[in-house]
Amino acid sequence: MTRGLQMNDVTKYYAEGSNRIAALDHVTLSVEPGEFVAVVGPSGSGKSTFLSIAGAMLEASEGEVKLNGHTLSTLTAKELSNIRLQEIGFIMQSSNLVPYLNVLDQLLIVKRMSSTVTREDKQLATKLLEELGLGAKLTSLPEELSGGEKQRTAIARALINNPNVILADEPTASLDTKRAHEVVSLIAQEVKSRQKAAIMVTHDERMLEYCDKVYRMEDGKLSLFPLKDIYK
């Protein structure tokens, strides 16, 4: 079974009056396990639509999306829900932590969504948080964390179900330069060590040095952006 994420000739249309607008226009992309890919581009270029389709939250109008060997268009709503929970780890612009849950429970609530929480789950969550430098923050609430600590908690939460694909939407949007580098380097490290296929949508060109490939989205079209052009 092919791992990672494959999008083949994917198009997404929206109706605008009597016209049909292509928010995504024949996008083809493959991200393999252990590969960290960035997608850059101006606002309104189709990045959000792209990420929603890659994350099984939006259905493509045309083309095929395969996630960890599953062809998404053939799955039921329940199967797609399970894919989102078990196969994809989401890291959003803001950490989206639950205000009244401590750091450890931020991870365990993901486990509760699919099953009861076991002692092994708690041990795994604790180990994951310790690996990300949050071992002393297990009982802290979100309001007691720095911006970088919140995003590290969000990274741990994205990894707790051992998903095969990581999708990060502007993960450095609310961080200063130091914290931004800290967070993206951690994502890159986890992608490599755990062999995840990862896509980061970003406006932050400072973070592209951590990525294996960079794509540019413009007017719904995706093109590979040579890394040598970024670092001229």
Predicted pLDDT of residue 188: 93
216 near 205, Cβ under 8 Å?
A: no
Which helix (H) or strand (E) segment holds residue 119: the answer is helix 119-131
56: left (phi over 0), alpha (psi -120 to 50) or beta: left
Question: Spelled out in words, what is the top-level CATH class assigned to the domain 1-87+204-232?
Answer: alpha beta
Question: Alpha-carbon distance 105 to 110, whole Å?
Answer: 9
Predicted pLDDT of residue 172: 84
Residue 1 confidence (pLDDT) above 80: no
Angle at 210 between CA 138 and CA 183, to 5 degrees: 20
Sequence-ordered alpha helix ranges (H) in the chain: 47-54, 77-86, 103-114, 119-131, 147-159, 177-194, 227-230
61 near 12, Cβ under 8 Å?
A: yes
Q: Where are the domains of the chain?
A: 1-87+204-232
Residue 212 confidence (pLDDT) above 60: yes
CA distances from 130 to 36, 81, 95, 165 (A): 23, 29, 18, 22
Burial class of 140 by CB neighbour count within 10 A (0 to 12, 13 to 18, 19+): middle
Predicted pLDDT of residue 29: 95
Residue 221, token pair as written in the block: 């079209």
Question: Alpha-carbon distance 84 to 120, whole Å?
Answer: 22
Q: Per DSSP, what are the bridge partners of residue 213?
A: 37
Predicted pLDDT of residue 112: 86
Question: How many CB atoms sit inside 10 A of residue 23's CB?
Answer: 21
Per-residue pLDDT tens over the stretch 74-96: 999 999 999 998 899 999 877 78
Per-residue pLDDT tens over the stretch 26-73: 999 999 999 999 999 888 888 989 999 999 999 999 999 999 889 999
